[in-house]
Amino acid sequence: MISRRQFTQSLSALAVSASTGVLNAATEASSIEAAETDAARQIAPAKDSSPFRLGIIGAGSRGQELIRSFLRVPGVSVAAAADVYEPRFAQLNRICGHEVAPHKDYRALLDRKDLDAVIVATPLGLHGEHVVAALSSGHHVYGEKVMAYTVEQANAIVAAASENKRIYQIGHQYRYSPWIRAAVQRVQQGEIGDVTHIIGYWHRNNDWRRPVPDPSLEHLINWRLYHQWSLGLIAELGSHHMDIANWVFGEYPEAALASGSICRYHDGRETDDNVQAILSYSGGRRFIFTSITDNAKMGDQLWLYGTKGSLNLTLQDATFFYEPKKITKPVVAANGKDEGVVTSASYNPSNEMPYRGPGKPVDVSTAEDPTTAATRAFIYCVRTGTSPIADAKVGLGSALGVIQANESLRLRKEIPISSKA
């Protein structure tokens, strides 16, 4: 089992004295608090309302949701959009309440000199090309997850943000959710002991398929179902959970082992309709992700298991559960006499029952939608030149896990994770 020392070292190198390597608890606590103060500043209501003009590449479902969020930030307007699917322009105009300059080719949008930042919300297979081009042409970027489809592309995005000194924020909006931040901070401070396992469920009961007006548009509309554009459920759903696992464990995963199949929807799709993935971290710690698409009982929830308790995270709340002091009763002979082995390792039905103690919800003052907070924080970061909470390093971590978990699905073996392509 990983020690508290190892855990905290990986959490923040800053918490360790450079000369001795000895953990400084006070430094650790203050570095967690400093991160929270910085996050609170980014998420706070905007004070600045100076004009801020956005461009968007890929104004589909998520792109439009992002625009609705961005328009809530004082001063923000949408100046231009690039999309290869014509109906998107009229949809966007309705949301914005005015004509947004349309571009069929994203490069024409990037040639504009009147944009303060660009949103990239195209299918995953195109993120690398679109985000690198946007950063390299001098634009700050809010880029949807997953960062990129290949390790090379993910590294190219990290390099382009750094070399061009541009802000890149990845669409892992749960990092901006007040109840998740508050809960993770308490976990980092040791509230549930050493966290060794994180299990993410994202279960749905629908086929993930969208209606297509013309068969020639099948790949454009249902890109999630095809390998050329998509890394499947691990990318589209699991990446959010994996990002939280990276955050809590304080490092990127070391290896990925995944399995999946097309179990229910035999409709020509290529990506699996159910997946199971195990991501390994140092000290034997594990993040385990499961997604099925024909039963929604478990919904979307993440469980963090620590030696002293558990944390349940959902899209609306966070709840702590604490391990009972004594969690096992030893096995005794049926006649009640002690006449042999007495152990808590053996089977005893009462020991195997799920612990149903009362949970303690995390109390936060706001249940604001995380995307609203994330988009507001991005505008703050660009306006003030602040590095985002969910920056390129955050994006790289979940991208590496997603990409190599898919490699594991393909090759049917465990894949080591490295940022070297």
Ligand X SMILES: NC(=O)c1ccc[n+]([C@@H]2O[C@H](COP(=O)([O-])OP(=O)(O)OC[C@H]3O[C@@H](n4cnc5c(N)ncnc54)[C@H](O)[C@@H]3O)[C@@H](O)[C@H]2O)c1
Q: Which of 39, 110, 126, 131 binds ligand X (CB under 6 A)?
A: 126
Peptide bond into 146 cis (omega under 30): yes
Nearer to ligand X, 109 or 195 (CB): 109
Q: Which stretch binds ligand X (CB under 6 A): 122-130, 292-300, 325-333, 397-405?
A: 122-130
Phi, psi of 159 (to 5 degrees): -65, -40
Judge whether 124 and 58 are in contact, CB under 8 Å: no
Regarding 220 and contact with ligand X (CB under 6 A), the answer is yes
Nearer to ligand X, 122 or 276 (CB): 122
Residue 55 exposed, middle or buried by CB count within 10 Å (0-12, 13-18, 19+): buried
* Both structure tokens of 122: 């195209």
Regarding 241 and contact with ligand X (CB under 6 A), the answer is no
Residue 236, SS3 per DSSP: helix
Nearer to ligand X, 168 or 223 (CB): 223
Nearer to ligand X, 63 or 309 (CB): 63
Contacts of 213 (CB under 8 A, 6+ apart): none
Q: Which stretch binds ligand X (CB under 6 A): 78-86, 193-201, 331-339, 410-418?
A: 78-86
User: By rule CB under 6 A, what string of x and - marks binding of each residue 356-385 to ligand X?
Assistant: ------------------------------
* Both structure tokens of 403: 């990409």
Query: Cβ of residue 109: shortest distance to ligand X, in angstroms?
Result: 9
Query: Cβ of residue 321: shortest distance to ligand X, in angstroms?
Result: 27
Beta-strand relationship, 168-170 and 141-143:
parallel
Q: Which of 52, 70, 88, 409 binds ligand X (CB under 6 A)?
A: 88
Nearer to ligand X, 236 or 273 (CB): 236
Query: Cβ of residue 39: shortest distance to ligand X, in angstroms?
Result: 18
Give the separation between CA 298 and CA 16, rounded to whole angstroms: 39
Query: Cβ of residue 106: shortest distance to ligand X, in angstroms?
Result: 5
Give the separation between CA 220 and CA 20, rounded to whole angstroms: 55
The size of the interface with ligand X (CB under 6 A), counted in residues, is: 25
Nearest residue to 375 via CA among 86, 173, 161, 228: 173
Residue nearest to ligand X (CB): 60
Q: Which stretch binds ligand X (CB under 6 A): 24-32, 119-127, 158-166, 182-190?
A: 119-127
User: Within 10 A of 241 (CB to CB), how many other CB atoms are there?
Assistant: 29
Q: Which of 116, 236, 243, 273 binds ligand X (CB under 6 A)?
A: 236
Regarding 82 and contact with ligand X (CB under 6 A), the answer is yes
With both helix axes pointing from N to C terminus, report the angle between 25-43 and 370-384 in degrees, rounded to the nearest 10. 90
**Hey, CA dihedral for 367, 178, 282, 242, is it positive or negative?**
positive
Regarding 85 and contact with ligand X (CB under 6 A), the answer is yes
76-82: strand order across its sheet: 101-103, 76-82, 52-57, 117-120, 141-143, 168-170
Q: Which of residues 57-76 bind ligand X (CB under 6 A)?
A: 57-63
Regarding 109 and contact with ligand X (CB under 6 A), the answer is no
Residue 331 exposed, middle or buried by CB count within 10 Å (0-12, 13-18, 19+): middle
Phi, psi of 97 (to 5 degrees): 75, 15
Query: Cβ of residue 80: shortest distance to ligand X, in angstroms?
Result: 12
Nearer to ligand X, 86 or 363 (CB): 86
With both helix axes pointing from N to C terminus, report the angle between 87-96 and 61-70 in degrees, rounded to the nearest 10. 20
Give, as one character, the DSSP assignment of residue 140: -
Q: Which of 102, 128, 171, 260 binds ligand X (CB under 6 A)?
A: 171
Regarding 121 and contact with ligand X (CB under 6 A), the answer is yes
Q: Which of 7, 70, 89, 106 binds ligand X (CB under 6 A)?
A: 106
Give the separation between CA 397 and CA 157, rounded to whole angstroms: 13
Q: Which stretch binds ligand X (CB under 6 A): 39-47, 52-60, 272-280, 405-413?
A: 52-60
Nearer to ligand X, 173 or 408 (CB): 173
Contact residues toward ligand X (CB under 6 A) are: 57-63, 82-85, 88, 106, 121-124, 126, 144-145, 171, 173, 220, 223, 236
